[in-house]
Amino acid sequence: MKQIFAFLLLTIVTAIPSLAQAQLLAPQDSSSGPVDRIVAVVEDEVILQSELNDAVAAIQQQYANQPGQLPPIDVLRRQVLDRLVLMKLQLQRADDQGIRVSDSDVDQAVQAVAEQNKMTPDQLRAAVEQTGMSYAAYRQQLHDQLVVQKLHENVVHSSVSVTDSEINNLLNSPNYKAGEVHLAHIQVSIPGGASAADIQTAQTKAEQALAAVKGGMPFKAAAIRFSDAPDALDGGDLGWRRLDEVPPAFVDTINGLKPGQVSGILHGPTGFHIIQLVDQRSQAKQMVTEFHARQILIRPSELLSPTQAQQKAQDIYNRIVNKHEDFAKLAKDNSNDDTTANAGGDMGWFQQGDWGTLIGQKVADMKDSEVSEPFQSEAGWHILQRLGTRNSDMTSEIARNQARQAIGNRKADQAYDDFLRDLRSSSYVKILVPELEEPATDNGKASS
């Protein structure tokens, strides 16, 4: 069956290697002082000083070549502790929802990290252990990331849907722009049920961040220092995204920026934002190569052993190539593919990956009218005949798919951000070390 486009396909594969690589390279705790005291209570769990020290060391190692990008150590510790708290809360909520990750899932994540680092899994294990970190602890970190990813999927899938009318409205909107923008941001969040004083405190912090950027501080450094978004310690980098993925309230502002420029303070539903347009690029016409082919599938069954299926496929191939029998008739009489058999094996026009990687590669390597020798997939034994190729303008179809994905991503970002804010504000979190608490403002309230 043709693969169906899924606009909310969420994957951890690309997310794990970058984070895991930073953890892989990080030295273990070398801080002075006690490493076994409790620094925070998160519901019915605790965060130890040693956990905090290790996480801080990982960030410091990540920025070893740019130490000036990091905020003062007391600010960094508070930021890292906040990240640890949020991770604990997400893992607890995932456990409440019965979310589980198997050992095989972790094995796949290990394989992805190893490939990202151009290693084998055994080499990755050796590299982890050379840092002084146990391999079991490393696997646990990957396990936790996968759990949080599944939680994210649950939250998004239960609250996000995209209709055809929304897609049409976006594509027909005067604000719709093709192309992509590379953005970075600083976010100063407003807690749920915030008072006027809380809002003023957040705004003051945002004003300090903007003043720092205008004063010459690199935007990335300002994001690390002032932002409380989950990506703060990554410099607030949002990566490349289509302009129609950006919240509509911010689009006009971004349209008025040139690469490298920074917006003023924008008040959004979750707090105050400062956006940098890092770069932008236009979208060219989308031409795609399509193939027309037909196939015969011989599937093993209770009445046909795998060896017999292979032999049957070989016999049919010989009848087509050597005896010049009609491919379509043989497909109708013999093929076990219910989607194509009645059409004489005709698969229609399709893009290379639509029928899977194996068939896609085979048909791409063939010439028009050529018949492939039988080859095996998980479905059985295939015989292909490529009938033709064409270059199709898929700009409109791709635009619809991208619009669907853009709307879905925007809703997903908002949904999960709301979820995290509600989770944090409704949970019991107690910071036990005074210097790790947010500094109080003049009115006695914490600054974030």
Select, from the ranges 24-33, 121-130, 226-235, 358-367, the one with the highest average predicted confidence (pLDDT). Answer: 358-367
Label residue 2 by pLDDT band (50, 70, 90): very low
CATH 1.10.4030.10 fits 15-159, yes or no: yes
Average pLDDT of the chain?
A: 85
What pLDDT score was predicted for residue 92?
Answer: 96
Q: What residues are paired with 46 via a beta bridge?
A: 41
pLDDT score of 13 more than 50: no
Mean pLDDT of 345-355: 94
What are the structure tokens assigned to 315, written together?
A: 């016999």
User: Which numeric CATH code is attached to 288-393?
Assistant: 3.10.50.40
pLDDT score of 80 more than 50: yes
pLDDT tens, residue by residue, 228-287? 888 888 889 999 887 777 877 788 898 889 999 999 999 887 889 999 999 988 766 778
What are the structure tokens assigned to 326, written together?
A: 């009609």
Q: In what order do the strands lie in the sheet with 38-42?
A: 45-48, 38-42, 429-431
Window from 114-118, 234-238, 395-399 with minimum mean pLDDT: 395-399
Window from 311-320, 343-352, 402-411 with minimum mean pLDDT: 402-411
Window from 199-203, 210-214, 268-272 with minimum mean pLDDT: 268-272
What pLDDT score was predicted for residue 291?
Answer: 96
CATH 3.30.160.60 fits 177-284+397-436, yes or no: no
Higher pLDDT, 445 or 89: 89
The Cα 246–Cα 410 span in angstroms is 7
What pLDDT score was predicted for residue 277?
Answer: 94
**Domain ranges, ordered by start, for the chain:** 15-159, 177-284+397-436, 288-393
Task: Provide the sign of the torsion angle of the four alpha carbons 418, 265, 198, 68, taken in this order.
Answer: positive
Contacting residues for 47 by C-beta, under 8 A, at least 6 apart: 38, 39, 40, 41, 81, 84, 85, 88
SS (H, E, C) the chain: CCCCCCCCCCCCCCHHHHHHHHHHHCCCCCCCCCCCCEEEEECCEEEEHHHHHHHHHHHHHHCCCCHHHCCCHHHHHHHHHHHHHHHHHHHHHHHHCCCCCCHHHHHHHHHHHHHHCCCCHHHHHHHHHHCCCCHHHHHHHHHHHHHHHHHHHHHHHHHCCCCHHHHHHHHHCCCCCCCEEEEEEEEEECCCCCCHHHHHHHHHHHHHHHHHHHCCCCHHHHHHHHCCCCCHHHCCEEEEEEHHHCCHHHHHHHHCCCCCCECCCEEECCEEEEEEEEEEECCCCCEEEEEEEEEEEECCCCCCCHHHHHHHHHHHHHHHHCCCCCHHHHHHHHCCCCCCHHHCCEEEEEECCCCCHHHHHHHHHCCCCCECCCEECCCCEEEEEEEEEEEEECHHHHHHHHHHHHHHHHHHHHHHHHHHHHHHHHCCEEECCHHHCCCECCCCCECC
> Would the CATH topology of 15-159 be identical to that of 288-393?
no
Q: What residues are paired with 429 via a beta bridge?
A: 42
pLDDT tens, residue by residue, 279-315? 988 766 778 899 999 999 999 999 999 999 999 999 9
